[in-house]
């Protein structure tokens, strides 16, 4: 976990409709200085996109997001994902995530969910949907209640508010699609994505 996420402040969370777009997208993100990418399992070609990035871009760390079932865990690992992210947690999903031995970040928003995640040994959690769940104020209030728990908020973050989240002591990194939205990927706007990603790469670095 530490080896993959050290010095990471921003993770692009991308939805890829065509596997052929995966490598050009990855190259644009790498040129901008973002070496991690989370490919959501929301399209029929998402697993193929993960495989393409894992095979052709060895300098990029590709993970799978929107992991919802134990079967998703298995398929993502077989596709070449190097980390897994879920928007929530269940007993079966947590068991599968822990058993696969890949770095796994389950989602938790409420105090009960955070306590359950902590009981399973997790100290880094996805906070989704971040803005709809109270944003920075919610995370600020959770900090003294759950020392030692860090979050990766996603959902509603953008170029204008991501830095506010990164200022919080219990936020390790943020995730979002603002630098690589699905319509820009579909249009092949690699230059535009690279420009936005370059700005994102500077967030949280002084």
| Positions marked catalytic | 38, 126
| Residue in 101, 108, 143, 103 with CA at minimum distance from that of residue 2 | 103
Q: What are phi and psi of 46, to 5 degrees?
A: -65, -40
Q: What is the largest CA-CA distance in the chain?
A: 45
59 sits in which H/E element: none
The token pair at 196 is 């936005």
Distances (CA, A) of 176 to 2, 79, 98, 109, 158: 20, 22, 24, 17, 7
Angle at 112 between CA 114 and CA 67, to 5 degrees: 55
The token pair at 98 is 């822990």
Are the C-beta atoms of residues 183 and 14 closer than 8 Å to each other? Answer: no
Q: Which residues pair with 39 in a beta bridge?
A: 14, 64
């Amino acid at each position: 976990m530490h080896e993959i996420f050290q010095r990471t402040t921003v993770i692009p969370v991308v939805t890829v409709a065509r596997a052929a777009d995966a490598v050009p997208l990855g190259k644009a993100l790498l040129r901008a200085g973002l070496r991690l990418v989370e490919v959501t399992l929301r399209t029929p070609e998402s697993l193929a996109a993960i495989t393409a990035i894992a095979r052709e871009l060895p300098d990029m760390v590709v993970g799978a997001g929107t992991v919802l079932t134990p079967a998703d865990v298995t398929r993502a690992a077989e596709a070449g994902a190097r980390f897994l992210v879920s928007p929530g947690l269940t007993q079966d999903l947590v068991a599968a995530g822990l058993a696969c031995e890949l770095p796994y970040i389950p989602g938790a928003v409420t105090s009960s969910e955070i306590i359950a995640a902590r009981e399973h040994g997790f100290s880094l959690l996805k906070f989704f949907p971040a803005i709809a769940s109270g944003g920075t104020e919610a995370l600020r209030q959770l900090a003294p209640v759950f020392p030692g728990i860090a979050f990766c908020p996603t959902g509603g973050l953008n170029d204008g508010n991501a830095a506010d989240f990164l200022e919080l002591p219990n936020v390790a990194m943020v995730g979002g699609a603002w630098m690589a939205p699905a319509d820009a990927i579909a249009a092949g706007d690699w230059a535009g994505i690279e420009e936005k990603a370059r700005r994102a790469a500077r967030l949280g670095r002084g």
